[in-house]
Structure 1
Amino acid sequence: MSKNLDIINNSESVVRSYIRNFPTVFTKAKGHKMWDENGKEFIDFFSGAGALNYGHNDDSMKEKLIEYITKDGITHSLDMASDAKADFLQKFNDVILKPRDLDYKVMFPGPTGTNTVESALKLARKVTGRTDIISFTGGFHGMTIGALSVTGNSMKRKGAGIPLQNTVTMAYDNYVDHDTLVYLERFLDDSGSGVAIPAAMIVETVQGEGGINAARFDWLQKIEQICKRWGILLIIDDVQAGIGRTGTFFSFEAAGIKPDIVCLSKSLSGYGLPLAVTLIKPELDIWQPGEHNGTFRGNNHAFVTATAALDFWKNDNFEKEIHEKSEIIYSFLEHLVADYPQLKGEVRGRGFMVGIASEVEGFSGKIAAKAFELGLIMETAGPNDEVFKLFPPLTIPKDELQRGLEIIEESIKGLIKEPVTN
């Protein structure tokens, strides 16, 4: 084991997790590749858990950031005005919101995904005067107390150390064999159900940590209709599924819905720099000044790279590329399920947010571990890590995408030579 790995293992808290799956010291990254201190090259099908949708160290973003730093541009500004912030807001409106006929105020709640979720929950309660939030089975929304209260994973919830209250969990799409929204509506209709009309519903259109579960568009449309009927705010958590990961900038676009509040983070900065926004319909923007804040909500370096990243969305060329490569990925996964019945697999997800769920206990984790040995980085998802999860950068060339997929197949081939039991 290397000296650097020894230092990390001996000094860092045992709470560390990814290092256990990828036990090497990375020293360089570019595009869809990473290298470790021994010079070994890896194809990255992890993309910083969705924080690096444009890959590592994009040249255009890097150039803009270096130029800004060398000119002594403002680094930290809380929520004071800066030219970097103004540039980002203008371009975000022009390139993203207006072409999609979306009208939102932009709130900077703090730099991480859990920050935007906390602000969304707080605002929903403030606007409606109600306390409860409906969330869904399999949902993951962050690790702070409010976000944990609407997260399904029992291990993560237990880490809170206190009861997580004022939330109700309902069944996500396809959680059971029948229409889950009939059940949800019955609870809202029945004054004896024990479920009060909530302030909001919070939902991921595709659940990442929950197991790459993709909601049908008609299910999402009906969620929006139910929310409108009862005066419930609809919060879409697009922290992981957004910024092109499912094929469009916002993951809800194809469903034709317009949420009341949208949570964005991860790949928003484009460069892996911390940045989050909460998008709010203007009539809901009733905050008192400073009522929700955060020391690092004015991360100007992230504004600079986020503004540069929006160049990808100036026309529909990038989106078309995502769809073409998505078809390659999905078709390949279907081939794996068909050709390797030992997987007992099911293809899940949408766009570049896909994976295979294996009924064979522990098999997905073994595939990810074998792939790492062969030079591919990917993780698992789901309550029992039953899904091996593909998150390549959206910018990966088709030939390199194919090479990564072939490593996955090679990993499966190597493992099924051994006895596989359920």
Structure 2
Amino acid sequence: MIEDFRLRSVAAAAYGPAVLFGLSEGALLPVIALSALERGATTSTAALIAAMLGVGSLAANIPAGVLATRVGERRSMLLAAAVLVAGVLICLVDVGRGPWPLLLYGSGVVLIGAAAAVYSLARQSYLSEVVPPHMRARALSTLGGSMRIGVFLGPFAGAAAMRFAGLPGAYYVSLAAIAAAAALVLRVPDLAVPTDARAAAPVVTTRGMLKQQRRVYATLGVGILLLSAIRQTRQTVVPLWAAHIGLSPTTGSIIYGVAGAVDALTFYPAGKVMDRYGRRWVAVPATLVLGTSFLMMPFAGGAALLTVAAMVMGFGNGIGSGIVMTLGADVAPPAGRPTHLGIWNELADIGTGVGPLILSAATALAGLGAGIAASGLVGFAAAGALWKWIPRRE
């Protein structure tokens, strides 16, 4: 009976690997640009190589849906682990300085981004099927929160390893975490998922899904794109504004870490609210709080006020944990769910690319404070779109 379902029944299969995947990714994020610089990249080239994570994710979202449909979520996750290991090993290869070493390194970063996309879709699709609808938001919020906890811990683990092994230490931590995640997936079999309906349903192509769900993608999908845009921008504005007001990199990093801790601690209550009262009760406040935090930041002239703004930002992002995955599962058709989720994640990733571009363009035109404020308005636009287009509870 679905009334007897408990989240702990999927903890080992879903959340344990999620923490480890997140830790693997978190260990790498701070060192990708540094490794590129070490191989002779300019600052702009290093930033471009770091952006290759997003390129890999964009390229893999839709194929990930096809893969999960054909081989299943568990095998997709194991394949993601193998691709991530390959990407990290390529990044560890140091063949000197120059264009070709940078190209090789960039290809490894692309593979890491692609692996993350495949893993994310596999876990999202799995939980969307095995968790009853009345607990879906809690399950997916916990999944998102588990990943965030891993990403939060990853830089600390990487920093500890780098004290003994230099920059490669972060990559060793990533390899160890992904190996542990794969071992956990191998040892803990997936729960039985009803497959009769999936087997009997006609195969839905990506083009067919786009046609079938075009209204959803053009309405609610736009809200998800805007939400993803401001979420991605928040990772940039704290260190940028900290540097702008003359704070040291160490102080900026501490403030960013405090915001990350607030973010990681608020995911489960949000999922419970969504399940009990509806998705709007979290999606709209989350985007409004995010937008407000951006508008607060230009008024922060020192570390104390910036910390407050960053904590508000972390709270807004944290309470929205899992909202993109939850809404994607809510509007997924019974046939072709992984294909739909691949397209859904593609919309979210497009937003992650658009957000920093809005910040960059507005900053170039009117300065950093105006750029941050303009990015905050994206949050209010997301709130309006989500309020209008999130399906109402029956």
Q: Same fold (TM over 0.5)?
A: no
Higher Cα radius of gyration: 1
Higher strand share: 1
TM-score normalised to structure 2 length: 0.28
Higher helix share: 2
